[in-house]
Amino acid sequence: MVLTVFITFFAATQEYFAITQAVYMKNFKSDIINDFKGISLPIFLLPFGFLIGSFTSHTEVFICLSLVLIPVVIVVYRLYQYSNYCSRKNPDDPINKFSFIVLSVIFGDIFFCVFLGFPFCYSLLLNGLPGGQKYSFLWLYTTFQTDNGALLFGKLFGTYKPFPYISPQKTVQGLIGAYVFCFISLLALIPFGETWITVKMTIGDALVITIASSTLGIVGDLTESFLKRTAGVKDSGNIFPGHGGILDRLDSLVWVTPFIYYYLVYFMI
């Protein structure tokens, strides 16, 4: 599980930098971002912090510590890169342009941590719980059924598109279908009770999980769609032919993970 998370996070990071480069080439007609792309080591401190925390009795402390330290390390790291670049650049180039770019890159890195790194690391904590495989199944099952419901209802009944400039394929009917299909899918698990792959839940649990998880999944999907539209790209990558890249597969999953983790810990386990 840990190896899977790190490999996936590595691939998603590369796609993020590719999208970032496309944005700067489109808006600034500049390849300065080449000096800032690659594997951003500070971002990788985040999963390491969560990984250490998952093996201690002070998980929450490591979570808070990661949230505080990662932005600080990113800023220092990016400013170091920027100073190296400035020592090599043409002295006639306008300094304000480069200052704006490095500042936006810093905020972009921090946003990436918040959007993908921070919530995705909760998959390690989720899987680390006793019987973690069934909690991971609940997380994946809930999110995928939300996506399936949106796709099915959108194809069959979709007409009105509420976000034509961000995600032109999404329809109101599809969004409603996402909630309905997810709720029905969770209700179908209740008769099985507690098994090695399913959790014991009530109808109330199913309703709360549906509303929160589906909403967070849709927001994550729209956020990633906004990033792609800003960059002028259709997909985040091509690792899955016909289905896009890693970010395209993770956008609905990442923000659901913290909710599932805390709901399980405080209300179901």
* Average pLDDT of the chain to the nearest whole number: 77
- Better pLDDT: 189 or 226: 189
Which H helix or E strand runs over 73?
Answer: helix 59-86
**What is the C-alpha to C-alpha distance for residues 192 and 108, in angstroms, rounded to an integer?**
44
Q: Cβ(257)–Cβ(143) under 8 Å?
A: no
pLDDT value for 256: 93
Q: Is the pLDDT of residue 47 over 70?
A: no
Digit-coded pLDDT (tens) for 52-82 = 665 666 665 666 566 666 666 766 776 776 6
Single pTM value for the model: 0.79
- Residue 39 pLDDT level (bands cut at 50, 70, 90): very low
Digit-coded pLDDT (tens) for 88-98 = 655 555 555 56
pLDDT value for 239: 64
Q: Is the pLDDT of residue 41 over 60?
A: no
Task: Work out the burial of residue 186: count CB atoms within 10 Å of its CB; fewer than 13 is exposed, 13-18 middle, 19 or more buried.
Answer: buried
**What is the C-alpha to C-alpha distance for residues 159 and 136, in angstroms, rounded to an integer?**
34
pLDDT value for 232: 72
Going by the DSSP 8-state scheme, the letter that residue 115 receives in this structure is I
Amino acid at 230: T
198, HSE (Cβ side, Cα atoms, 13 Å): 15
Mean pLDDT over 25-46 rounds to: 56
Digit-coded pLDDT (tens) for 116-153 = 776 777 887 788 788 999 999 999 999 999 999 999 99
pLDDT value for 3: 63
pLDDT value for 188: 97
Taking alpha carbons only, the member of 146, 156, 151 closest to residue 180 is: 146
3-state helix, strand, coil in the chain (%, to 5): 75, 0, 25
What's the full length of the chain, in residues?
A: 269
**What is the C-alpha to C-alpha distance for residues 217 and 248, in angstroms, rounded to an integer?**
12
Q: Is the pLDDT of residue 250 over 50?
A: yes
Taking alpha carbons only, the member of 115, 245, 155, 136 closest to residue 199 is: 136
pLDDT value for 68: 61
Task: Return the SS3 of 120.
Answer: helix
pLDDT value for 116: 72
